[in-house]
């Protein structure tokens, strides 16, 4: 298509999808997506996906991909998950504000590793952290990370 056809194509994009398209274009341009979504009524999810190498073009073998997801679940409370995928494997960071949630994460750590390995993902490390209330995934820590 020609440049003259671009406005006509954009005009045909349904209005509710235009902000999403703008976010996707921005993410491709600067390597960061930060948004909030609502998978079901009353459940807000904050999601950050960042390519620390963007917009530069890194060597394919050195590419690192990061994503961070923060949400509040009915039985677990505020939780956050950080994933870093690199050529050496997957690093997982789990945090929660409730001691019972963190204990559950620790108890299920082996099953998580097995599931990721079954999906052909090499697990580099899993870190589990108890964070201060309001700090799940925001760097606040009531205790040091449990890295295994």
Average per-residue pLDDT in the chain?
76
Residues 26-78 have pLDDT tens digits of 766 677 766 776 766 777 777 777 766 655 554 555 678 888 889 899 899 99
CA nearest neighbour of 136 among 85, 76, 74: 76
Residues 6 or more apart whose Cβ sits within 8 Å of residue 67: 47, 48, 49, 50, 82, 83
Q: What is the mean pLDDT of residues 120-135?
A: 88
More confident residue, 57 or 85: 85
Check: pTM over 0.75? Answer yes or no.
Answer: no
């Amino acid at each position: 298509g020609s440049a003259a056809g671009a406005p006509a194509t954009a005009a045909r994009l349904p209005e509710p999808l235009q902000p999403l398209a703008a976010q996707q274009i921005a993410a491709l341009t600067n390597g960061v997506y930060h948004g909030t979504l609502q998978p079901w009524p009353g459940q807000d999810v904050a999601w950050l996906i960042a390519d620390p190498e963007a917009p530069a073009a890194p060597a394919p073998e050195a590419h690192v991909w990061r994503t961070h997801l923060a949400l509040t679940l009915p039985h677990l409370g505020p939780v956050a998950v950080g994933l870093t995928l690199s050529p050496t494997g997957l690093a997982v960071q789990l945090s929660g504000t409730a001691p019972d949630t963190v204990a559950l994460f620790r108890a299920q750590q082996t099953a998580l590793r097995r599931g990721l390995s079954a999906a052909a993902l090499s697990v580099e490390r899993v870190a589990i952290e108890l964070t201060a209330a309001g700090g799940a995934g925001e760097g606040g820590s009531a205790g040091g990370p449990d890295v295994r």
